[in-house]
């Protein structure tokens, strides 16, 4: 009996090559959290000009955008959509009309309202309407015995704060207080109500209007956010602890339907958005049966939309033929049960040790070793 043992290596050690195409596409826009979409109808003008009402309505859109509680649809975008649908927003003063506009534009909420003047007092009313239910969700109103310039720079922002779920700035004597802000770690840049402040923590900010303010601090890849209440005529002391930014990673593959794995955790089939990943380096794997598994280190940045596109290559197939046939195939490290001839063994690119064995009767035992 002869035992034929062939160890295929080097020339007979199988090396399978492959080409991977991997592209990280980085779109230079600021990463954003998922927020409800909202559109603002032009406010009704009562005893003021339509152009004044339009300017004040545009300022409300800007303030809502800067506060950051909503994704605000630009006026030009909304008007273009309505124009394509043959819809005129002028005269749209009812909740039913606002809902109809919201459905055409494709937003979750609509803002409508009115701006008027009686004597020397300006009055502003605004409301948010749920497009799906038609219900009034939030209403804000404010009277201002002030010039129209103050209405533009202060009153409209208060309306935006109330619509965003924050308290408006107190107008009692136009009181203000100071904020002594520290952070852990220190040396962080500061933004109040999405407006940058000169200096870094620790810092005293004086003459800050009393009421609630949205305060954020950043240092490198770390951030912290809080809504702080400023009491008038005192120094308000607050500390914000910074944590690592989290961002999203959008993974696409060709072909689709591949499993996306980040740092060993499976996140579903491509295309898939993987949310709340800390900024920095991560191990990305994309795999699909019949294709070569992709492994790559990706770096996630806080100031961009992180997008990964992977093109998977079809996994090579190994063919093994022996003379005589019927030899048992053993690929070291892989539990297979094949015999020769075999031409459909799917393997990832790499180097493998293959052993073929076959028993032949009535022959002197002999072992042959090939490298």
Same domain, 83 and 151: yes
- Residues pairing with 35 in the sheet: none
d(CA 306, CA 251): 9
Whether 301 and 332 map to the same domain: the answer is no
Dist. CA 236–CA 210, nearest whole Å: 10
- Taking the C-alpha atoms of residue 265 and residue 274, their distance in angstroms, rounded to an integer, is 11
Are the C-beta atoms of 39 and 105 separated by less than 8 Å? yes
Bridge partners (DSSP) listed for residue 299:
281
The CA-atom distances, in angstroms, between 124 and each of 62, 75, 100, 139, 157 are: 16, 20, 23, 11, 11
- Lookup: tokens for 312: 């998977």
Q: Of 271, 293, 311, which closes a domain? A: 311
> Is the domain of 218 the same as that of 148?
no
Q: Which pLDDT value is given to residue 360? A: 62
Within the chain, residue ranges assigned H as helices are 50-67, 75-84, 95-105, 148-150, 156-163
Q: How confident is the model at residue 21, as a pLDDT?
A: 31
Contact assessment for residue 150 and residue 180, using Cβ atoms and an 8 Å cutoff: no
Q: Are 350 and 15 in contact (CB under 8 A)?
A: yes
Q: Given its phi and psi angles, is residue 150 left (phi above 0), alpha (psi -120 to 50 degrees) or beta?
A: alpha
Residue 325: C-alpha distances to residues 238, 320, 322, 361 (Å): 80, 10, 5, 15
Taking each helix axis from N to C terminus, what angle separates 156-163 and 50-67, rounded to the nearest 10 degrees? 50
Closest by CA to 188, choosing from 238, 230, 240, 229, is: 240
Rounded CA gap, 268 and 262, in Å? 10
- What is the per-residue pLDDT for 61? 92
Q: Where is the domain boundary, 213, 239, 265?
A: 239
* pLDDT attached to residue 90: 64
| Containing structural domain, residue 262 | 245-311
Nearest-5° Cα angle at 57, 193 to 156: 40
Number of domains in the chain: 4
Q: What is the value of pTM for the model shown?
A: 0.42
User: Which of 239, 261, 286 is the endpoint of a domain?
Assistant: 239
The predicted structure's pLDDT at residue 357 = 78
Question: pLDDT tens per residue, the chain (371 residues)?
Answer: 333 333 333 333 333 333 333 333 223 323 344 688 999 998 999 999 999 999 999 999 999 999 888 899 888 888 888 787 777 666 677 888 889 888 888 899 999 999 999 887 899 999 999 999 988 888 999 988 777 888 898 899 999 999 988 765 544 444 678 999 999 999 999 998 888 899 999 999 988 877 888 899 999 989 999 999 988 889 999 999 999 989 999 999 999 999 999 999 999 999 999 998 999 999 999 999 889 899 999 999 988 899 999 999 887 777 777 777 777 777 776 666 777 787 667 666 667 777 777 776 443 333 333 33
State the CATH number of the domain containing residue 223: 2.60.40
**CATH number of the domain encompassing residue 298:** 2.60.40.1120
């Amino acid at each position: 009996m002869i035992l034929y043992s062939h160890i295929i290596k080097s020339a007979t050690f199988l090396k399978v090559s492959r080409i991977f195409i991997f592209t990280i596409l980085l779109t230079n826009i600021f990463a954003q959290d998922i927020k409800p979409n909202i559109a603002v109808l032009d406010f009704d003008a009562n005893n003021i000009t339509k152009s004044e009402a339009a300017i004040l309505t545009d300022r409300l859109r800007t303030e809502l955008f800067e506060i950051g509680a909503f994704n605000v649809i630009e006026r030009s975008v909304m008007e273009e959509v309505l124009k394509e649908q043959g819809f005129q927003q002028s005269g749209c003063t009812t909740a039913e009309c606002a809902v109809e506009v919201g459905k055409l534009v494709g937003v979750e909420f609509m803002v409508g309202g009115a701006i008027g003047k009686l004597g020397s007092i300006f009055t502003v009313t605004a409301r948010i309407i749920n497009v799906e239910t038609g219900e009034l969700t939030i209403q804000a109103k404010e009277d201002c015995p002030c010039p129209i310039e103050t209405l533009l720079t202060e009153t409209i922002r208060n309306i935006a704060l109330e619509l965003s779920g924050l308290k408006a700035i107190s107008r009692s004597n136009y009181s203000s207080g100071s904020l002594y802000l520290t952070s852990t770690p220190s040396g962080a840049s500061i933004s109040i109500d999405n407006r940058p402040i000169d200096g870094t923590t620790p810092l005293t900010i004086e003459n800050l209007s009393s009421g609630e303010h949205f305060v954020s601090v950043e240092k490198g890849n770390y951030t912290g956010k809080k809504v702080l209440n400023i009491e008038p005529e005192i120094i308000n002391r607050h500390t914000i602890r910074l944590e690592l930014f989290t961002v999203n990673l959008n993974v696409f593959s060709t072909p689709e339907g591949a499993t996306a794995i980040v740092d060993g955790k499976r996140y579903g089939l491509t295309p898939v958005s993987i949310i709340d990943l800390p900024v920095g380096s991560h191990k990305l794997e994309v795999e699909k049966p019949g294709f070569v598994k992709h492994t790559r280190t990706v770096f996630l940045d806080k100031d961009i939309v992180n997008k990964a596109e992977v093109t998977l290559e079809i996994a090579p197939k190994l063919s093994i033929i022996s003379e005589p046939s019927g030899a048992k195939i053993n690929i070291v490290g892989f539990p297979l049960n094949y015999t020769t001839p075999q031409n459909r063994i799917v393997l990832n690119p790499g180097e493998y040790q293959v052993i073929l064995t076959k028993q032949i009767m009535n022959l002197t035992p002999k072992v042959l070793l090939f490298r």
